[in-house]
Structure 1
Amino acid sequence: MTERRSFKWPALLTSTGRGIAFGGDYNPDQWPDEVIDEDIRLMRQAHVNTVALAIFSWDKIEPREGEFTFDWLDMVIGKLGAAGIAVDLASATASAPIWLYAKHPEVLPVDRYGHTVNAGSRQSWRPTSPVFKEYALRLCRKLAEHYKDNPTVTAWHMGNEYGWNNRYDYSDNALKAFRRWCENRYGTIEALNEAWGTAFWSQHVNDFGEVQLPRHMGGDAMVNPAQQLDYERFGNDMLLDFYKAERDAIEEICPGKPFTTNFMVSTDQCTMDYAQWANEIDFVSNDHYFHEGESHLDELACSDALMDSLALGKPWYVMEHSTSAVQWKPLNTRKRHGELVRDSLAHVAMGADAINFFQWRQSAFGAEAFHSAMVPHAGADSKVFRGVCELGGILETLSEAGLQGTELEHADTAILFSAESEWATRSQTLPSMKLNHWHDVRDWYRGLLDVGRRADVVPLAYDWSGYRTIVLPTVIALSAEDVRRIADFAHAGGTVIIGYATGLIDERFHIGLGGYPGAGDGLLRTMLGIRSEEFNILGPEAEGEPVEIRLSNGLTTRLWQNDVTSVAPDTHIIATYQGPAAADWELDGTPAVTSHPYGTGTGIYVGCDLDRHDIAQLIGLLPAFGGEPSGKTDSETDGDATHAPDPRVLHTVRRSPDGVIRFDFYINRATQPVELKDIAGEPVLAHRCENGPDLGGYTLARNAVLVTRRVE
């Protein structure tokens, strides 16, 4: 396993170098020089203390091949430093200049149909191109040599959103690299043939020189799923190798300053296997853009829960989010009053110590001209900029209270996430094309919030042995080693919740035989005390057929039901399929949700899909969460509902590393005001809150955030 780089946080230009970082992407090369002084004046007014600079400035730094000019960048960095604003300096390689593409069209990627991906957008280059790498690393070295001793440059920002436009490349460079990658992974061609199951459809290869990329094969032809999964891994690894080459080129010249690159984690995307990438950076950073609709805040918290795990509990960086609407979605919803501040503080509540936006000044032209920014088209006399200034002041207040450097307190439940399972659920060879591992993680996360509980979201590959309960929603791919870890966790006293499409395949996309879930050579079935034979798939496409099936405890399944035909004698059946639709599909009375003792722990099987509201109801029935099979909740059984967690409030705790200082965050999840009583600690921030401790409690308006501090 790769050794992780030591945590290193970028310094600010404050007297102590500490504080919550606040700012955004700064693109002065889009504007005339006279705007820069006005920008810096407004930055100081907004309490900005850091900017990311030169992300897309390659053609400004090297306007013609071999002709480097740093005068303009020196001027900007000098003015920023004089104003006390630190710089996170980019390697500027995210987009190459047009002159490079014109001279070397062979660096352009190729799509799965064999079409060249033309220049003109971002990342129009092959990560496996030796020509492009030579130009990119030369630029990295020039930047490092010029700015290695500059005190304003306190961190390096490598690339930008690696994989945004070149995650999948089918060029000849990629083919050669894929063949090398396969040889390194498998060692022998026999091992590859066995892993890919090439006995099917006459796909046997005699040597690595015959290995192909999963290019377009015509019509609705289905790609070998094992080959496709390895291609996903390969694309991840090629971009990670490119990042490391850039980082190492700069670090060799400019050691000591921290390195990062911005991940792209939201529950609608997780482009790379960031559990791997996190080992190669000094501080974790993320670009997060909110999901429109009622899931807005919950989706943010779920994504951030994964970010906190990737950071191993250390503070992490929001490199980009938006002040309001973006311009790249089918529906570009703006933020309501208070959401600019609320969203930013929600990231802080989930462990972030840096809040940055794309971008500082809204562009007057180009593809992202209608993407919101800190200074909008309307200028400084605007609601958005006043919100930015308010946020900057709040972050200074939190910094002065000592929040920076504190760490998010862990929950007792971990929802396990696997990038490989997310990739696998996109396969067109599964019983249903509607599976989505990441969305099922989000539904379980929200279901727990709906009963006043919070979970961590932890990569499957990480250490989750310290939790009381783990949940595996549609973790479709589990290796034998994964299953052994899971079974050992249960045997030692933990509770394991296995979802309906978990453990169907191994890491090679091979089906576990003997019944479902078959991963681990049947060990998963033994732990759960059940065996399923078939999947029952529902959907409106089957006209005239039932589109949902009820469970005996009132829950509803609408996509996938496992036909459980064997149950161990000591398995407890929590719910069965029931009713006319269940009878029509010959499932009436078939176990749907079960619980089975294993060692000193428990394996719970949720054999069908459930939506977020049904998950919340199910949680209330599970003893692992304090519920009773009768349906009683903890507030009913302990006789004191006033102390039960309020599901309308997202509550998190951040503590100092020594555990002495505690900050409690309370964020209103509801659209209506929420009253909180008996809140301990001194208020540090009461944003959109009424009343207060002197009046017996707080009233949190919509989008309100309350932060208290106490010493324990």
Structure 2
Amino acid sequence: MTTHRAFRWPSLLTESGRGIAFGGDYNPDQWPEETLDEDIRLMGEAGVNVVSLAIFSWDKIEPVEGAFTFEWLDHVIDRLGRAGIAVDLASATAAAPLWLYESHPEVLPVDRYGHTVNAGSRQSWQPTSPVFKEYALRLCRRLAEHYKDNPYVTAWHMGNEYGWNNRYDYSDNALAAFRTWCEAKYGTIDALNEAWGTAFWSQHVNSFDEVLLPRHMGGDAMVNPSQQLDYERFGNDMLLDFYKAERDAIEQICPDKPFTTNFMVSTDQCVMNYAKWADEVDFVSNDHYFHEGESHLDELACSDALMDSLALGKPWYVMEHSTSAVQWKPLNTRKRAGELMRDSLAHVAMGADAICFFQWRQSKSGAEAFHSAMLPHAGADSKVFRGVCELGKALKTLSDAGLQGTELERAGTAILFSAESEWATRSETLPSMKLNHWHDVRDWYRGFLDAGLRADVVPLAYDWTGYKTIVLPTVLSLSDEDVLRIADFAKAGGTVIVGYAAGLIDEHFHIGLGGYPGAGNGLLRDMLGIRSEEFNILGEEAEGEPSEISLSNGLTTRLWQNDVTSVAADTTVLASYAGESAADWELERTPAITSRPYGNGTAIYVGCDLNRHDIAQLLKALGSRWQELSAQPTESGQTPTYPTTDPRILHTIRRSADGSTRFDFYLNRSNQPVAVNGIEGEPIIAYRCEADTTGYTLNRNAILIAKASC
């Protein structure tokens, strides 16, 4: 367990310094001077109270080497501040000026094929380059010296989306740093050889000077998965070290303002091990872009559930999301009517106290010109800007009601997420290359919602002992310590649900022997009371073969089935493989889902993949006990009540620290009207809702927020 930095939240320029932050990235250096007047006027009309500034402005601040020009930035900050708009000031290092690359091309990253990554985009620099770090830290110190006493700068925004373009660097600097990292991790070369299993394919190394990066090896050659997993860890750590160097350079000069950097957490991307990064920021912030299609709201809530855990339950910051379509996906769908408001308030429902967008004014040129913004190409007379103004009023209502600073109430179930298991599932050496740990977390999260229940998403490395149930969906990699914590949780009375591909390897990508799952030297397998010998992998690639197998309880598996050959005497088989396809694969009557008492708790094994609908059916079949597991007792000992268990409604509660006030959020997950009755407290926002004598009808993209005194 590690220790977070102390929580510090940036102040607004309100009389109290409090309120929900609302704004976005602001890039006035892209526009002529006269645009500033219009921007500030329209920001006031929209209710904007904070902007992130100078994220990509290094070449404007230092147009030639050593010549710093702050006058333009001083003018912008002063105008914003006098208008009551606080500034989250960037370190400006995310995109270096071209003169630096011309003078020092050696700072450019190298891809796995040995090609230099050219300048012209973002983050075209090596995290391990001492030359680049020297220039970057010099800029950080100059910014800190210049703005340390500026009252309008209320927070520091380090870098931007670290790892977006330089997550993987194969340069000579990276090689030297990787060797140093490996020596620090393992101590002796014998320990590294053991961890990497170098006896295979003649990969033994005699010293750390022989350690290599997993560069391209030709053809369809497979990388040593143990080496690759360490390289993933190394890349995360090198960028985290760079962030900390920037933060520390500014903090030595300007220690009184909080620091953050924007994570990239959505269930389509989770680039870093943010459980480690969250330790190093004063407040957690995230860039979230919605997933197109029917999973839109659920995906947002799942990502936010992880963000709330990373923030240790404290409020967190949406640093970027979009008013409508982006321009960087294969399919760039726009938002429907109401989704701008609904998405923003959904983030608030999941614990966010800041709602910001990329960006304020939509660019007229450059790579992101077609990325939607708060003030679109169409101008202020547009649906998008009117929606932005409507949102500003709603956030002001919530601020006035005292929502800011309240915290999201936990669920009773923690779905465990591990960045290292996510990295491991990308290996091309697994029984199936279709595994995806993060997507499996999302499917379980949605399964709980479909069953009318709630779950949190919690990093494996964090403390989840306060929950009643934990779920391990494709948590492929489990160390002996991890397994011991899981077993102790069950012994103490908790319920553990272990997925089909959990615990197959340890932290070194070594297989546990004696049968699957072998993690913890067989402790995980013993806890579950089952033993599997083989994996049955299905896929459309096998023409003429069954592509799915039924279970005796009516569920269906489509990718992976464990061939469980023995169960303990006290293990109950809840479902087995059944039907013609099961018989064809010689799995008929083989246990698929089992349950076993363990200590004072229960260990449930789901030995095959299930989609979110089947997961929901499984949870419902487990009985009414799941209603109890879905509610987490508060510090006062009271169990929160949820007036509706309608799976079409996402219901969350935020509560004040003293427990005297609660805010209930109700969001319609469906595209049809849904009635909600039994609302506690006084509705303060009823967006796209219709009131009647018994309650409210929530239309598509609706959100209802009620405040109650406890």
For residue 51 of structure 2, give the secondary structure of its aligned residue in structure 1.
Answer: strand
Q: Which residue of 1 aligns with 2:574?
A: 574
Which residue of the partner structure matches residue 708 of structure 2? Answer: 710
Tell me the matched-pair count.
697
SS of equivalent residue, structure 1 residue 615: helix
Instruction: Report the equivalent of 2:35.
Output: 35
Q: Does 1:102 align with 2:102?
A: yes
Query: How far does the alpha carbon of each residue in 1:124-180 deviate from its partner, in whole angstroms, 9 at most, with x for none?
Result: 000000000000000000000000000000000000000000000000000000000
Cα offset, 1:621, TM superposition = 1.4
Q: Are the equivalent residues in 2 in contact too, given 1:495–1:624 (CA < 8 A)? A: no
**2:518 maps to amino acid:** G
TM-score (norm 1): 0.97
Residue in 2 aligned with 1:563? 563
Partners in 1 of 2:289 and 2:310 — Cα distance? 18
The aligned amino acid for 1:649 is I
Q: Tell me how far 1:625 sits from its aligned partner.
A: 4.3
Aligned residue number for residue 513 of structure 1? 513
Three-state SS of the structure 1 residue aligned to 2:141 is: helix
Task: Give, as a single letter, the amino acid of the residue that structure 2 aligns with 1:701.
Answer: N
SS in 1 for 2:478: coil
Letter in 1 for 2:668: N
Report the counterpart of residue 694 of structure 2 in structure 1. 696
Cα distance, 1:627 vs structure 2? 8.0
2:466 match: secondary structure: coil
Separation in 2 of the partners of 1:626 and 1:243? Answer: 42
| SS, match of residue 651 in structure 1 | strand
| Partner of residue 385, structure 1 | 385
Please say if 1:138 is aligned against 2:138. yes
- For 1:324 and 1:431, locate their aligned partners in 2 and report how far apart those are by CA, in whole Å: 39
Q: 1:626 and 1:415 mapped to 2: Cα distance?
A: 14
Separation of aligned partners in 2, 1:342 and 1:541 = 40
Match runs of 1:45-194 below 5 Å: 45-194=45-194
CA drift at 1:644: 5.3
The residue that corresponds to 2:294 in the other structure is 294
Q: Please give the per-residue CA displacement for 1:676-702, whole angstroms capped at 9, x wherever unaligned.
A: 11211011111111115xx22101111
One-letter amino acid of the counterpart of residue 470, structure 1? I
Alignment-mate amino acid for residue 278 of structure 2:
A
Contact 2:57/2:92, CA 8 A, preserved across alignment: yes
Q: CA–CA distance in 2 between the matches of 1:536 and 1:233?
A: 31
CA distance, structure 2, for counterparts of residue 2 and residue 159 of structure 1 = 23
Query: Matches of 1:393 and 1:27 in 2, distance apart?
Result: 24
SS at match of 2:663: strand
* Correspondence for 2:618: 618
Alignment check: 8 A CA contact 2:497 2:603 kept: yes
Instruction: State the partner residue of 2:10.
Output: 10
1:259-315 deviations in whole A, cap 9, x for unaligned? Answer: 000000000111000000000000000000000000000000000000000000000
Contact kept? 1:619, 1:625, Cα under 8 Å: no
Displacement after TM superposition at 1:626 (Å): 3.5
**Tell me, which stretches of 5 or more residues in structure 1 are unaligned?**
629-641
Distance 2:644 2:25 in 1: 42
2:445 maps to a residue whose letter is Y
> 1:36-84 CA distances to partner (integer Å, 9 max, x unpaired)?
0100000000000000000000000000000000010001001000100
- How far is 1:3 from its partner? 2.8
**Match of 2:275?**
275
Q: Residue deviations 1:376-412, cap 9 Å, x none?
A: 0000000000000000000000000000000000000
C-alpha contact 1:620 1:627 (8 A) present in aligned 2: no
User: 1:667 maps to what in 2?
Assistant: 667
Structure 2 distance, partners of 1:449, 1:2, is 31
Secondary structure of the structure 2 residue equivalent to 1:165: coil
Question: Counterpart of 1:352?
Answer: 352
Structure 2 residue identity aligned to 1:481? E
Normalised TM-score (structure 2): 0.97
Aligned to 1:637: none
Q: How does 1:484-633 map to 2 (within 5 A)?
A: 484-623=484-623, 625-626=625-626
Amino acid in the other structure paired with 1:606: V
Q: Distance in 2 between matches of 1:616 and 1:344?
A: 27
Instruction: Tell me how far apart the structure 2 counterparts of residues 622 and 594 of structure 1 sit (CA, whole Å).
Output: 11
> How far 1:342 moved relative to its partner?
0.1
What value does the CA root-mean-square deviation take over the aligned residues?
1.0
- Alignment identity in percent? 81
Structure 2 CA distance for partners of 1:204 and 1:99, relative to 1, 3 Å: same
The equivalent of 2:229 in structure 1 is 229
CA contact (8 A) 2:644 2:677 kept: no
Cα distance change on mapping 1:307 and 1:295 into 2, 3 Å: same
Give the SS at the match of 1:253.
coil
Mapped to 2, the partners of 1:108 and 1:678 lie a distance apart of: 60
1:434 counterpart residue number: 434
CA distance in 1, matches of 2:624, 2:139: 55
CA distance in 1, matches of 2:658, 2:336: 38
Question: In structure 1, what is the Cα distance between the partners aligned to 2:414 and 2:80?
Answer: 42
Q: Which residue of structure 1 aligns with residue 632 of structure 2?
A: none
Q: Separation in 2 of the partners of 1:664 and 1:271?
A: 32
Q: Aligned AA for 1:358?
A: F
Alpha-carbon contact 1:469-1:624 (below 8 Å) kept: no
Assess if the C-alpha contact under 8 Å between 2:324 and 2:372 holds in 1: yes
Aligned to 1:460: 460
| CA shift for structure 1 position 623 | 4.2
The structure-2 alpha-carbon separation of the partners of 1:396 and 1:179, relative to structure 1 and needing over 3 Å to count, comes to same
Q: Distance between the aligned counterparts of 1:438 and 1:67, measured in 2?
A: 46
Q: How far apart are the structure 2 equivalents of 1:248 and 1:97?
A: 23
State the AA in 2 paired with 1:533.
E
State the alpha-carbon separation in 1 of the partners of residues 311 and 524 from structure 2. Answer: 30
CA distance in 1, matches of 2:268, 2:562: 26
State the match for 1:399 in structure 2: 399
Shift of 1:2: 3.9
Hey, what does 1:201 align to over in structure 2?
A: 201
- Cα distance in 2 between the residues matched to 1:448 and 1:309: 18
Q: Hey, what's the Cα distance between the residues in 2 that align with 1:525 and 1:180? A: 36
- Could you say what secondary structure the match of 1:346 adopts? helix
- Partner SS, residue 22 of structure 1: strand
User: Structure 1 residues 643 and 133 mapped into 2: Cα distance closer, same or farther (>3 Å)?
Assistant: closer
Q: How far apart, in 2, do the equivalents of 1:76 and 1:215 lie?
A: 45
Secondary structure, aligned partner of 1:154: strand
CA distance in 2, matches of 1:120, 1:644: 52
Partner Cα separation in structure 2 for residue 445 and residue 239 of structure 1? 30
Tell me, in whole angstroms, the C-alpha distance in 2 between the residues paired with 1:353 and 1:275: 20
Structure 2 partner of 1:635: none
- 2:658 maps to 658
Measured in 1, the distance between the counterparts of 2:180 and 2:575 equals 50
Q: Give structure 2 stretches of 5+ with no counterpart.
A: 629-641
- In 2, Cα distance between equivalents of 1:559 and 1:203: 33
Q: Secondary structure at the match of 1:430?
A: coil
Equivalents in 2 of 1:433, 1:582: separation in Å?
Answer: 22
Matched residue, 2:639: none
- Go from structure 1 to structure 2 and tell me whether the alpha carbon gap of 1:645 and 1:624 turns closer, same or farther (over 3 Å shift): closer
Range 679-688 or range 236-245, more displaced: 679-688
The answer to whether the 8 A contact 1:675-1:699 is kept is yes
Change (3 A) 1:280 1:627: closer
